[in-house]
């Protein structure tokens, strides 16, 4: 356990950030899963609508440092390609 005041503050801060980041990642996964379920159901309109909602969430996750930019680019590219293949 930390003895210095600054180290104790850092531990508390890291715990708060872990909670925030965990909930944010969970939300991102939920938005992506909605797109994937719409694709699996074969519904193009629902998939496109869900993708338009998921896209800014992925970009926000990248901006907040949760996801690497290439990871976000890869996920968005693969989702859009799967939606395009449905058409």
pLDDT confidence of residue 64: 94
List pLDDT tens digits, range 48-78: 999 999 999 999 999 999 999 999 999 999 9
Average pLDDT in the 24-40 region? 97
**Full residue range of the structural domain in which residue 65 is found:** 23-86
- Tally of domains within the chain: 1
DSSP of 6-19: HHHHHHHHHHHHHH
83 vs 81: CA distance, rounded Å:
5
Confidence band, pLDDT 50/70/90 cuts, at residue 30: very high
Tell me the whole-structure pTM to 2 decimals.
0.85
Task: Look at residue 56 and tell me if it is in a domain.
Answer: yes
Task: Look at residue 77 and tell me if it is in a domain.
Answer: yes
pLDDT confidence of residue 87: 85
54 close to 35: Cβ distance less than 8 angstroms = yes
pLDDT confidence of residue 1: 74
32 close to 67: Cβ distance less than 8 angstroms = no
The CATH number for 77's domain is 1.20.58.110
Task: Look at residue 6 and tell me if it is in a domain.
Answer: no
36 close to 78: Cβ distance less than 8 angstroms = no
Task: Look at residue 1 and tell me if it is in a domain.
Answer: no
């Amino acid at each position: 356990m930390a003895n210095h005041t600054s180290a104790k503050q850092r531990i508390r801060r890291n715990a708060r950030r872990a909670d925030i980041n965990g909930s944010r990642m969970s939300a991102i996964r939920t938005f992506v899963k909605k797109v994937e379920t719409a694709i699996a159901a074969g519904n193009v309109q629902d998939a496109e609508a869900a993708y338009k909602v998921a896209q800014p969430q992925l970009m926000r996750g990248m901006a907040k440092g949760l996801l690497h930019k290439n990871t976000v680019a890869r996920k968005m590219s693969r989702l859009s390609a799967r939606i395009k293949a449905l058409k």
